[in-house]
Amino acid sequence: MQVLNCSTKLLMLEKMLKSHFPESLKVYGAVMNMNRGNPFQKEVIVDSWPDFKAVITRRQKEAETDNLDHYTNAYAVFYKDVRAYQRLLEEHDVINWNQVFQIQGLQNELYDVSKAVANSKQLGVKLTSFKAVEFSPHSTLPDTRSLKGPSPRLTYLSVADADLLNRTWSRGGNEQCLRYIVKLISCFPSVCARDDKGNPVSWSLTDQFATMCHGYTVPEHRRKGYSQLVALTLARKLRSRGFPCQGNVLDDNTASISLLKNVRAEFLPCRFHRLILTPATFSG
C-alpha cells in the first residue's frame, strides 16, 4: 500500500477519478474535500501509484477518534480490480478493525468482499443499499411565488440547529451523530429554509464525501415546495464550487423519489452501498 500525502499527487488523483464516474463519486468527493482544506482529516491509501487499481480514503491515524462513532470513522472505496481492493483490506494497518466504522462505495462487489474479510475478523456487517442520484445542471429553481406556503427565508444551517437535525435524522438520535452533524454544519455547504420566527422548516446539508444528505422538511410544512427549493439551492451552491451534486435515496422513500423526478435528477446506473461494521466487543 501507499499513503498519498503529496498535494500534487492528490490533485492528480482527483482528475483521474473523474474518468471513472459515477462509480468513483464517493472517493472523488472525499478527495475534493481533502484538496480544499481537509476539514475531516482524511488521507488516501492506494495499492500502487500512479497506476492504482484500488483506492481507499480514511481518517488520518493521528485524528482524534471515538471507537463507537461510525459516522466519522468512514471509509470510501473505489477499485478498478476488486482483487486489489480485497488485498488492501487484508493488508495490515489499512483498516482499523477495532472500532465501529462504515465503508461507502458505488460498486456491487463491495459488500461480498468486505463481508468476507470482516467475517474472518469476527465483525458484524450491516448493509444498506440506495438509489444513487445526481442533480441535473439544467434544473431551475422554483419561483417562490409558486410555493404553497409563505415564502421562507433561505439561509444556511447553524450549529444551534444540530440538536433538531439529530432528532429528525433516521440515522441519528445519539451523541456520536450529534457531534458529526455539528462538524458537517461547520465544514460544508448547507441550505435551510426558515419561517418568520427563524425556525428551520426544511433543510439539506453536505457530508464528508460531498454528498447531499439529511434532506428533511418538518411535517407541518410538507407539500409546500420547500424541499425542492432547498435541494436545488444546495445543488446550485455545490456546483458553483466545482463539486458534483450527488445524493442517495432509499427505494421505499416515494416522496423523495417523486421530488427527484420532478427536478429531473438522474438516477445513476450504479447503487450506493453503506456498510456498517461492528467488532464483536461492541455488538452487545
Query: Model confidence over 269-282: pLDDT tens digits?
Result: 999 999 999 998 88
Instruction: Give the mean pLDDT of 226-255.
Output: 93
Residues 84, 145 within the same domain = no
Average pLDDT, the chain: 93
- Alpha-carbon distance 211 to 244, whole Å? 8
Residues 259, 142 within the same domain = yes
- Counting Cα atoms < 13 Å in the Cβ hemisphere of 186 gives 13
Beta strands per DSSP E along the chain = 2-4, 42-46, 54-59, 74-79, 101-105, 123-134, 153-155, 190-194, 200-206, 211-217, 246-249, 266-279
| In contact, 182 and 176? CB cutoff 8 Å | no
Reported pTM: 0.93
Residues 180, 98 within the same domain = no
Residues 124, 240 within the same domain = no
Cα–Cα separations (whole angstroms), residue 246 to 2, 88, 93, 155: 28, 27, 31, 21
Residues 259, 276 within the same domain = no
Residues 23, 85 within the same domain = yes
Regarding predicted confidence, which is higher, 151 or 208?
208
- Alpha-carbon distance 79 to 55, whole Å? 6
Res. 248: pLDDT tops 80: yes
Query: Model confidence over 52-110: pLDDT tens digits?
Result: 999 999 999 888 889 999 999 999 999 999 999 999 999 989 999 999 999 999 999 99
- Of 200, 177, 175, 178, residue with least CA distance to 190: 200
Residues 181, 259 within the same domain = yes
Label residue 17 by pLDDT band (50, 70, 90).
very high
CATH number for position 146: 3.40.630.30
pLDDT confidence of residue 28 = 98
Query: Model confidence over 159-203: pLDDT tens digits?
Result: 999 999 999 998 889 999 999 999 999 999 999 999 999 999 999
Omega before 142 cis (within 30°)? no
Residues 103, 177 within the same domain = no
Instruction: Give the mean pLDDT of 137-148.
Output: 62
Residues 151, 260 within the same domain = yes
Cα–Cα separations (whole angstroms), residue 55 to 23, 79, 200: 12, 6, 38
Label residue 144 by pLDDT band (50, 70, 90).
low
Q: What percent of the chain has pLDDT over 70?
A: 95
Non-local (6+) Cβ contacts of 269 within 8 A are: 22
Non-local (6+) Cβ contacts of 37 within 8 A are: none
CATH number for position 12: 3.40.630
The number of folded domains in the chain is 2
Residues 148, 189 within the same domain = yes
Res. 267: pLDDT tops 60: yes
Label residue 146 by pLDDT band (50, 70, 90).
low
Residues 107, 163 within the same domain = no
Residues 211, 177 within the same domain = yes
pLDDT confidence of residue 199 = 94
- Of 245, 271, 267, 246, residue with least CA distance to 257: 267
Residue-number span of the structural domain to which 26 is assigned: 2-129+272-282
